[in-house]
């Protein structure tokens, strides 16, 4: 059956183009989670006012809610924008849904989040789904280790122990073909509480060195993170900053 979407080669992928430019320019791109049409319009207007690129992202409920209409809205808005905008699916945890999204919806990139599985299983599933997405011109983000906490509609990993990303993880996820790495460096989904964020910046530095330009770096769990800490993370290679709320 013919796909409803004309796939472009990965070399023309919009998310990767936006992040490569950010890496070369030593800046990061904000990636807001949108929940409705007003969020899409507001985010793009703000980015246009700053002449800044943007990666709009949404959680998987946006696919089931109104049969993906919100994804089409975001893609059309991205197309009309006067700055580069791509559309990303964050924390996709359902393999069937990932395949459906890759086949039918206008996402530029998908975060394949298999972090609720044990390491080997996470890797195996990530590799398989990455190939599936790449064949359709869609870039892939993945999370080695485990970022604690829960987000809207996403399986809460607060009961599972957070696992920090290692240099071995970097090698394995690079080998799996992942384009964007979302490391666990002490970052948490949700709020940081009284102590504030305690990031392992040395670990981030090592991750950047190990990556050696093979993948871009996304930072999750930025609610309540001070600007100065964000700047330090950007200096250590972060080019995609996820913002939820
Ligand atoms: Zn996240």
CATH number of the domain bearing residue 103? 3.20.20.70
Domain-located, residue 20: yes
Domain-located, residue 1: no
The whole-number pLDDT of residue 159 equals 54
The whole-number pLDDT of residue 160 equals 57
The whole-number pLDDT of residue 59 equals 96
Ligand 1 center to 2 CA (angstroms): 33
Name the domain count of the chain.
Answer: 1
91 is in an annotated binding site: yes
Domain-located, residue 2: no
143 is in an annotated binding site: yes
Domain-located, residue 172: yes
Ligand 1 center to 33 CA (angstroms): 10
Mean pLDDT, consecutive 10-residue stretches, the chain (245 aa), reads: 73 97 98 97 98 98 92 98 98 96 97 90 96 98 82 61 86 97 93 90 97 97 95 98 91
The CA-based angle 135-117-96, given to 5 degrees, is: 40
Catalytic residues: 90
- Where in the sequence is the domain holding 165, given as residue range(s)? 11-243
Instruction: Answer for the pair 201, 232: CB distance below 8 angstroms, yes or no.
Output: yes
Ligand 1 center to 1 CA (angstroms): 34
Domain-located, residue 115: yes
Domain-located, residue 6: no
Domain-located, residue 56: yes
Instruction: Answer for the pair 115, 175: CB distance below 8 angstroms, yes or no.
Output: no
189 is in an annotated binding site: yes
Q: Which helix (H) or strand (E) holds 42?
A: helix 37-50
Domain-located, residue 162: yes
The whole-number pLDDT of residue 191 equals 86
Measure CA 109 to chain center.
8
Q: Which helix (H) or strand (E) holds 182?
A: none
Enter the pTM of the model.
0.93
The whole-number pLDDT of residue 111 equals 98
Ligand 1 center to 197 CA (angstroms): 15
Tell me the H-state helices in 118-200: 119-135, 167-175
């Amino acid at each position: 059956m013919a796909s409803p979407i004309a796939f472009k080669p990965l070399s023309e992928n919009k998310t990767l183009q936006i992040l490569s430019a950010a890496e070369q320019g030593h800046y990061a791109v904000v990636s807001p989670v949108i929940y409705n049409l007003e969020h899409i319009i507001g985010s793009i207007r703000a980015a246009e006012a700053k002449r800044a690129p943007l990666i709009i992202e949404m959680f998987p409920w946006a696919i089931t809610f109104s049969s993906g209409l919100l994804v089409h809205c975001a893609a059309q808005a991205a197309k009309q924008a006067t700055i580069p905008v791509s559309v990303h699916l964050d924390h996709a945890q359902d393999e069937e849904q990932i395949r459906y999204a890759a086949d039918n919806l206008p996402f530029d990139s998908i975060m394949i989040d298999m972090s609720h599985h044990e390491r080997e299983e996470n890797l195996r599933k990530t590799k398989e789904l990455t190939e599936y997405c790449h064949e359709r011109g869609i870039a892939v983000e993945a999370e080695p280790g485990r970022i604690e906490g829960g987000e809207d509609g996403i399986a809460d990993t607060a009961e599972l122990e957070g696992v920090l990303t290692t240099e071995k993880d970097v090698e394995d996820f690079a080998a799996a073909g992942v384009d964007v790495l979302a490391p666990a460096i002490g970052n948490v989904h949700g709020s940081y509480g009284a102590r504030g964020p305690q990031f392992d910046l040395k670990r981030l530095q090592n991750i950047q060195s190990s990556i050696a330009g093979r993948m871009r770096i996304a930072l999750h769990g930025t609610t309540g993170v001070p600007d100065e800490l964000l700047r330090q993370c950007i200096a250590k290679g972060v080019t995609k900053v996820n913002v939820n709320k």
